[in-house]
Amino acid sequence: MRDHPLRATPRGPRRRAGFGRFAARSRKFVVGATILVLITTAALLAPRLAPYPVTEMHVLDRFAPPGGRYVLGTDFFGRDLLSRILFGYRTSLLVAALSVVFAMVLGSALGVVAGYAGGTVDSVLMRAMDILFAFPVLLLAITIVVVLGAGTLSTVLAIGIVYVPIFARIARAPALVVREQAYVEAARALGQRPSWIIARHVLPNVSTPIFVQATINLATAILFESALSFLGLGTQPPYPSLGLMVSEGRNYLELSPWPSVFPGLAIVLAVLGFNLVGDALQEILDPRLRQTWAAAS
């Protein structure tokens, strides 16, 4: 069964070469990817790069301005802002990545099963997804956090659950189409198990839109995590979180704006990175958008 003649999904190499060519030409993609690589590296190497321990207080240097001993200055407790931002990135990226992976796996699984099975399974699953859509996202996330108790893991689950229906809808549509294709019928006629057909024929067809959506959702997940932390429902002090830093700094804006300004800029940079890459991917991978561009310009 390894190299089945009925396998209809084109193999990777050619497509990947095409992807590389398009990606290199897209300035959005290059800029976004550069930002993301830098940020991820900084987050991974935070323990080595941070000039000071994250919770170390320099009482004599409270609200130090940027420059000098503290590159980005210090906060109310005299904690080094750069060090806290580096560690804050760790939390942000980790929560964003975990929640999106959770939503992607669960959501695409539900969507593919619903689309492939059809009938009652489809109706029940998709109505359940509609109900999740009936709540404003932030309100739903907050409610989940309240039920689970504030903390990093709850944040991951809250954001993940909110995103599940998005992935379910995206995965369902191509699954519905693929189900009717001759090669799937052939596979069924050959007596393949449904799980094998889904893995071999359906998943490759849904992976591209899912992948693009995941990139975009990473951007919004970072915003989400920071908003929950800002509200005091995400990462708990004294652990550094970018949203929490903005919130803490907000009370002393007149004394020193930097403890709010820099973490906010850090969030914007990360979100912009994901948005640039997501936007570029959409243009590169969706031929319709590419044609739109050609026709429009």
- Chain residues binding another protein by CB under 8 A are 28, 130-131, 134-140, 142-143, 146-147, 149, 219, 223, 226-227, 230-233, 243, 246-247, 249-250, 253-254, 257, 260-261, 263-264, 267-268, 271-272, 275-276, 279, 292, 295-297
Residue 8 CA to residue 91 CA, distance in Å, equals: 41
In one letter, which amino acid is 204? Answer: P
Nearer to another protein, 111 or 278 (CB): 278
Number of neighbours of residue 60 by Cβ within 10 angstroms:
7
Nearer to another protein, 187 or 214 (CB): 214
Nearer to another protein, 205 or 264 (CB): 264
CB of 138 to another protein, least distance (A): 4
Nearer to another protein, 80 or 283 (CB): 283
CB of 186 to another protein, least distance (A): 36
CB of 296 to another protein, least distance (A): 5
CB of 207 to another protein, least distance (A): 24
Where are any strands of DSSP class E within 237-282? none
Supply 4's token pair.
């089945």
Residue 211 CA to residue 15 CA, distance in Å, equals: 15
Nearer to another protein, 60 or 134 (CB): 134
CB of 80 to another protein, least distance (A): 20
CA angle 237, 246, 46 (to 5 degrees): 65
Nearest to 141, CA basis, from 218, 224, 236: 224
CB of 259 to another protein, least distance (A): 11
Nearer to another protein, 61 or 286 (CB): 286
Nearest to 221, CA basis, from 57, 127, 104: 104
- Contact (Cβ atoms closer than 8 angstroms) between residue 273 and residue 32: yes
Phi and psi at residue 80, to the nearest 5°: -65, 120
CB of 289 to another protein, least distance (A): 9
Helix locations, 134-202, DSSP H: 137-148, 152-179, 182-189, 194-197
Nearer to another protein, 30 or 261 (CB): 261
CA angle 195, 196, 202 (to 5 degrees): 85
* C-alpha distances out from residue 14 to 6, 11, 17, 20, 21, Å: 19, 7, 5, 10, 11
